[in-house]
Amino acid sequence: MSAIHARKPGRGFTLVELLVVIAIIGVLVGLLLPAVQAAREAARRMQCSNNLKQLGLALHNYLDTFKKVPFASNFVDSIAQCGNFALIGNPHYSGNVSLLPFLEQGNLYNQVNFDQSIDAGAANRTLLNGRFLPVFTCPSNALAGTGRRADGNNFNGFNGPVQEGMYRFCGGTMNNTMLNTRDCTALSPSFCLNADGGINGGWTCVHNSPGSIRGMFARGVTSIGLQNVSDGTSNTIMMGETKPHFTEFGALWTWNVPTTLFSLKLNSAFLKNAERTRTVNWMNAQGHASYHIGGAQFVFADGSVRFVSESIDYPTYCLAGDRADGKVMDSLE
Q: Which residues of the chain have pLDDT under 50?
A: 1, 85, 190, 194-200
Long-range contacts of 310-317 (CB under 8 A, 24+ apart): 310/265, 310/266, 310/267, 312/266, 314/183, 314/188, 314/190, 314/192, 314/265, 315/190, 315/191, 317/262, 317/265, 317/266
Is 181 among the domain residues?
yes
pLDDT value at position 25? 86
Q: How far apart are CA 22 and CA 210, in angstroms?
A: 67
User: In the prediction, which pLDDT does 198 show?
Assistant: 43
d(CA 190, CA 193): 7
- DSSP code for 103: G
Whether 206 is in a domain gets the answer yes
Query: How far is CA 281 from its chain centroid?
Result: 15
175: CB partners within 8 A, 6+ apart: 193, 194, 195, 197, 198, 199, 200, 201, 203
Task: Let me know if 7 is exposed, middle or buried by CB neighbors in 10 A (0-12, 13-18, 19+).
Answer: exposed
Residue 228 lies in a domain: yes
Q: How far is the CA of 248 from the CAs of 98, 254, 293, in angstroms?
A: 22, 9, 25
pLDDT of residue 197: 42
Q: What is the DSSP string of 280-328?
A: --HHHHSS---SSTTEEEEEETTS-EEEEETTS-HHHHHHHT-SS--PP
Residue 173 near residue 212 (C-beta atoms within 8 A): no
Residue 166 lies in a domain: yes
Structural domain of residue 131, as residue ranges? 31-320
- For the stretch 152-164, pLDDT in tens is 999 998 999 999 9
Name the DSSP letter for residue 31: H
Check residue 133 and give its pLDDT. 97
255-268 residue pLDDT tens: 888 899 888 899 99
Q: Is residue 13 part of a domain?
A: no
Q: Is 254 left (phi over 0), alpha (psi -120 to 50) or beta?
A: beta
pLDDT score at 56: 97
Give the N- to C-terminal CA distance of the chain in Å, as an integer: 90
pLDDT for 103 equals 97
pLDDT at 246: 97
Q: Is residue 183 part of a domain?
A: yes
* Angle (CA) 230 232 236, round 5°: 100
Q: How many domains does the chain have?
A: 1
pTM: 0.84
User: Residue 210's pLDDT is what?
Assistant: 67
